[in-house]
Structure 1
Amino acid sequence: MNMTRKINVNVSQTVKNAVGKNEDFHFYVDELASDDHMPTYAGFADEKYTFESMDESFFEFLTCKIHENGIYIRMIHATGENTPDGALFTLECGDSTMTFETAESNVLVFEFADYGIKILNDEVTLGATVDGGCAHTPYFAEFGSSKANDQFLSLDNPLNKQVIDLLLEMIVLDE
Structure 2
Amino acid sequence: MTEKKESFKIKIAYSYSTILSAKLRNFRKHSLLKYTFSAVIYSVVLTLIRGGNPLSKSGAIFFLNFFLLFICLSVLLMFVSSWLMARKYADKSMIYTFSSSGIHIHNEINKLEEEHDWNWIRSYELTKKALYLLIQSKKPFEIILNRPDLSQEELDSLILWLGNRS
TM-score range, shorter chain: under 0.3
With normalisation by structure 2, the TM-score equals: 0.25
Q: Which has the higher strand share?
A: 1
Q: Report which of the two structures shows the higher radius of gyration computed on alpha carbons.
A: 2
With normalisation by structure 1, the TM-score equals: 0.24
Q: Which has the higher helix share?
A: 2
